[in-house]
Amino acid sequence: MKPKVFFSMPKKTFDISFSAEVVKAMSEVAELLGCPPPADGYNAEYVKNNIVDAEAVITGWGSLALTDEMLALAKKLKIVFHTAGSVQGLWKSTRTDIRVASNADINGQPVSEFALGMVLIGLKGVFHFNHEIHAKGKLAWKKTGDYAKGYYKTKVGILSLGHIGRRLVKLLKNFEVDILVQSNHITPEQARGMGVTKCTIEELMSQADVVVLCAPNKPKNKGMINKSNLKLMKDNSVFINIARGALVNEDDLVAELKTGRITAMLDVTFPEPPVEGHPFYTLPNCILTPHIAGSFAGECFRFGEAVVGEIKRYVAGEKLRNELSQEEIIFRA
């Protein structure tokens, strides 16, 4: 008998994540409930009515939180497949008998690719050249500048080695750069095995030509980037934030940017977007993008493809690729 699988998500999330081909492949191994979800009426009552019979639930961006009250109705529920990354905001239950698989590593792919692009652009001084040429025209048409370091033997620092940081390390191996990492979860010996150098945050910030912030959005990391380590950055170095804006003391970053010493490439801020009139909008050495590093547009179909693969493995009794341990569920929540 096919397991009953319930799509607990807004229709707009379903539409960007699940192609017709993926839905068809999923229907061959599971009985699908709420497929597609209603255009209107995705609410607690709707979820309660459908989760009762579900053996598995598929969640994503905008899904209602799974609380003890909600899961008290889900006596047949054995596993949750989360199409997005972190289960922060989703998992609000104390139950430990329900398995959870997350697409955090899948979502890390476009983020790490975006970070690589920013690293390469930063090391070539692309935004500086562009700004000067637009401002001065032909007079600025030159290939020199202290901010243009190139790639060979320059140092790229990565703060945190989660899904994104590890993917970025692999991508950077295609270039002749030295990779510095700050992580509490690897030893110096393990770092050497990865072909990187483990550093403290102070060592990394003072040595790297480009610093990429990939740390998780946890209370302990709030304001981890501040004046005490920003002042350590080399002249003409680049700071890239693809994590969360709250991890940076933005007043301190603004003060450092006003010196003209460094460049910041910010895909995230706190709040998003920055308030009207914020210095980020006018500082020439601050490059802003509207939180586009993660999956969007056609990239989101990777989520559905990953989930259908996990469901097939679940039905076949095989090991899942992206299952979280109970400790990870609690940590990521």
Would you state the structure tokens that stand for residue 237, as one six-digit string? Answer: 């170095």
d(CA 325, CA 67): 18
| Residue of 30, 5, 9, 15 lying closest to 312 (CA atoms) | 30
Q: For residue 52, with 0-12 CB atoms within 10 Å meaning exposed, 13-18 middle and 19 or more buried, which class applies? A: middle
102 beta partners? 82
d(CA 263, CA 150): 15
Which amino acid would we find at residue 249? N
Question: Which residues have C-beta within 8 Å of that of residue 60, sequence separation ≥ 6?
Answer: 9, 13, 14, 17, 82, 83, 84, 303
Would you state the structure tokens that stand for residue 127, as one six-digit string? Answer: 């935004």
Selected catalytic residue, list 128, 163, 278, 291: 291
99 beta partners? 79
291 is catalytic: yes
Q: Are 203 and 229 in contact (CB under 8 A)?
A: no
Nearest-Å Rg of the Cα atoms of the chain is 22
Which amino acid would we find at residue 101? A
Q: Are 237 and 229 in contact (CB under 8 A)?
A: no
What is the number of alpha carbons within 13 Å of residue 9 lying toward its C-beta?
26
Q: Are 75 and 54 in contact (CB under 8 A)?
A: no
Q: For residue 298, with 0-12 CB atoms within 10 Å meaning exposed, 13-18 middle and 19 or more buried, which class applies? A: exposed
d(CA 192, CA 189): 5
- Report, as residue numbers or ranges, the catalytic residues: 291
